Each structure stands twice: as structure tokens, then as C-alpha cells.
Structure 1
């Protein structure tokens, strides 16, 4: 005889209270309840809002037409084929859905890679291309990052959204990961575990290999950014209210930041608007 969990609740608040009672250790660690609604009905509603054309043009911007389908795809509430077919039904020619379908393809690729590597996705696939060895990276994530008290408005906001919402825009993930690995010189595995604690769409395949892409253990070079890049894609929403504006850790050209972050490295950052989920490719 099994003790099945309750499935019927009068409202979402009653559900949240019940879950906290059932999982007291998790609630003690973090009792935030994400505003994202789960279930098939919510998934279909989100899918119906997808505009492949607008997605391709604006997905890199925080205010862009991102789909937010990833939590539903993560748990099989939506299938990749279903999302692809819906996108094709909304366009005149298949090229208009190319970017959207391409991202679905990357998710499928990461899952297939996971099948091949197994627990190996927790190991560096290659050496760091930063000029530093793995032993030179810290093995613990600092509390100021976890708690959002670094003093950098952007980073602290990303940390808060991760913990309270369980979802981050693709660019937020890249910037936060780059800050942790390259500015704070912490091993990507620590950031990966932190993301998996909170992301509603977090799965080891996409998450781990994307962190490795940022770190450069699964890419030709490390991903990093500067304030100009962040300000452009956020429309300055964080920079406008940051007391460190003009003197923050991200100030300067890519050449200047490269020399600061990777004094022993031998590469030049060219394109700074790549996707979080990219494989082993030149940028």
C-alpha cells in the first residue's frame, strides 16, 4: 500500500503550504514559491503564445519574445516535436522558424550527449582555455553570490531571480556563469550545482554542458562580457540603478577585460551575443 501525495487543492496557496509540510528540509533551505504555473494547461497556453519570427529577432534581449517553454519541456509536459510542429504551423516558410527549431535541436543534442557521457558530464571535457589549470579554481561557491550581496546590481538581481523564480533569461545565465567562473575564478561545477538547486528547467544535460561552454572546457575559448554588452541587452535596467556604474567589474573593452581576466590566455573575444546552449564551435 502506498501513501500517494494529495493532488487536489482549493488554491495554489494551499498547495504551497502542503509541499512545505511534506518537504520541510527543502522549505528550510529556501521557501520561495515560483510564480510559474505548472501543468499541461499552462504549458499549452505558453506554447500558443510562441511567435517564431519575433523570437528569432529579439530573443537575446531581456524584453524579447522568449518562449519560457523550457520548464515544461524539461519535465515532458511538452515534447520537442510538439513545439517544433506548432512553430511550423505559425509561419509561411520554414526558414522563419529556423532559430527556434535550432534551439530545440540543441536541447536534443545535449540529451544525446548525456546518454553517451553519463556522469562524465560532471568532468571537464577538455582543459580550460583561460591560461589557468583546474586546480587554480575554487571549489566552493561564496555566500555573497548565493545570497545576492556582491554589490553588483545585475549579479545580485540574477541571484535573486534564480532563487525566487526558478528561471533566468538565457543571457542572465551566461552573464552569471561567466562572473562566477572568470571573475571569481570558481569551478564551473559549483555554479552548475547551484543552478540545479533552483532552476525549474534545470537538467544535467543542458545545464552542465552549457556551463562547460562558458568555462571553455567544452568550447574553443571562454565566454565573457562587458558592461556595454550587458547594458545593451537589458536596456540598462540594472546599470541605471547601480552605484558602481562606471567603475564596476565589467567596465572596459573586451581587449582590456581579456588582459585582466586571462593574462596567460591567447585568444580574442569576437562575438558576445551567443546562446547559453551552444556546443563545441568557434565564436
Structure 2
């Protein structure tokens, strides 16, 4: 790599070609380029398209009105204050923008935690509440998850999207993280490192602490989901083509799945135990 990197390019293709030349080891590992366009102009255009009201109503759906601002916030192209100002300029009542502004506050909270914890965010902040011990989880991500060959159309789709675009909807991140940790019994650190390898908005603070929230090492119980939850918020786009649709490991009520996933934690098998939404009671909070 040369000592001084170029800053001016004819077009995006010229930029991509240059980066592949400058970073051949990275290009050799995978030369897929995300369709997301960087830079201040793209950030401002994306900011102009936000819809605070619909965001609050539909953000849990994969096809919902999410903002796609996270890569620009992650790399400092936009500030949280700019986004808050843009939201306030659009709304007539606080409730229209409450959900989006709350998410900005959570991002700020994660950064403040990271400032205090530093590299300790890579360590279990609390014991697992799953009935399992850290030694019960394998330390490496299984190759079939990385390759998108688990047989589950949803998880394989998320894996491919993550690696091909550098982005995943937040709900898809939750499902994939829960699958990795609870169904496949993998330590959250392996999944967190995998996400950071590919996400354009990969931020150690929100990423790691959210994985810990899913795993239950930074929350009062593990996050998990069932097939009904996934089908609802993905609007059924995966199950009809899935080779495992009739023997889906995600199928079942929460109490049935809890008995399978957490047999040593009977308190999680109560029918009232639910996931699918974040439980954000201080100081145990989650991501975006």
C-alpha cells in the first residue's frame, strides 16, 4: 500500500478498482462490493428520505420504512444531532418522531458505554441466563453459517445479504444472532466478530452489546424467537421455498422452544416468557 491514498476519482468504478489494487489481501478474501454509496452527498439524500411516522409504525418489518442512515452515522458522515434536527423538522407531534429519536438516544448510550468499558465489551458482562455455561458454547462460527448453507432459507438468506451488501435489517440481525447463539450454541463473540467483518455500519459498541443482549450476558434473559414471529415480520418470504419448512427447528410456541433450547433454565419455559421485542430496562439495553 502506498503511503498516501488518493482522494479524487473519476467515478465509483475507478474508486473500487483503486482500492482493490491498494488492498489486495482484502480483495483476495472477497471482492464483493456493497451497493451502498458512501459520502456526504449520498448521506444527505438518504437523510432527506426518512419518514419518522412510518418508521415508528413499521420498523420491525423487513420491508418497513427504516432509514438506512446507520453506515453514515457509524463513519461520522452524519451526526446524531443532524438526524434529530431533520426528524423534528418533519413532525407535528412528538409521538410521530419518538421511536426514531429514541433509537438515536440508544446509539449515543452505546457509545458512552463503550467509552467506559473499552475492550471489556468483548467479555461477558454478566453470566448467561440460559442455564448453560460459557464452556458449553463452541468458540468458532460453524462454516455452514458463514457459507449460507444451513438449509434454513431465512438464515442462509441473511448470511448472504450480510456478506453481499454489508447490511442487515435490525430484526434480521436479532434473528440471526439468536440462531447462532441459542440454536447452534456458539459463543456470541464469534458472531459479533463475524458481523463486524462484514457490516458497513459495524460499530463495536452497538454490535457487541447487542450480541450480549441476545445471549443474555447483558440482559435479564436471552432473546429468542419462533417461526411465527419471523414469518410475520418477514411477511412470509422465506418459508415457502425452504427445504426445512416441514421440519423447521424454529417451529413451536415460545414455551416449547424454551424447553428445547434452555432445558436447564425452567424459569424461561413459562408461557408468559416472550421475545420478539426488545426489553430495554436500565442498565440492560439493546441496539438500534
Q: Which residue of 2 aligns with 1:113?
A: 113
CA contact (8 A) 1:150 1:156 kept: yes
Alignment match, 1:143: 143
Asked if 2 retains the 8 angstrom alpha-carbon contact of 1:220 and 1:281, the reply is no
1:213 partnered with 2:217: no
In structure 1, how many angstroms separate the alpha carbons of the residues matched to 2:279 and 2:252? 22
For the residues of structure 1 that align with 2:163 and 2:283, how far apart are their CA atoms? 27
**What is the Cα deviation at residue 86 of structure 1?**
0.5
Distance 2:279 2:90 in 1: 23
Could you tell me which runs of 5 or more consecutive residues in structure 1 were left unpaired when the two chains were aligned: none
Is 1:280 the counterpart of 2:284? The answer is yes
Shift of 1:28: 1.2
CA contact (8 A) 1:171 1:275 kept: no
| Local SS of the residue matching 1:92 | coil
**Structure 1 position 123 matched with structure 2 position 123:** yes
Q: Secondary structure at the match of 1:201?
A: coil
Displacement, 1:272?
1.4
The answer as to whether partners of 1:170 and 1:275 remain within 8 angstroms in 2 is no
Deviation at 1:8, TM superposition (A): 2.1
When the two structures are aligned, how many residues end up with a matched partner?
A: 280
Q: How does 1:110-259 map to 2 (within 5 A)?
A: 110-259=110-259
TM-score by length of 2: 0.94
**Structure 2: segments with no counterpart, 5+ residues:** none
TM-score (norm 1): 0.96
Alpha-carbon distance in structure 2 between the residues aligned to 1:256 and 1:160: 29
Q: CA contact under 8 A between 2:122 and 2:208: conserved in structure 1?
A: yes
Secondary structure (helix, strand or coil) at the match of 2:189 reads: helix
Superposition CA RMSD, Å: 1.6
Structure 1 window deviating more from structure 2 (204-213 vs 3-12): it is: 3-12
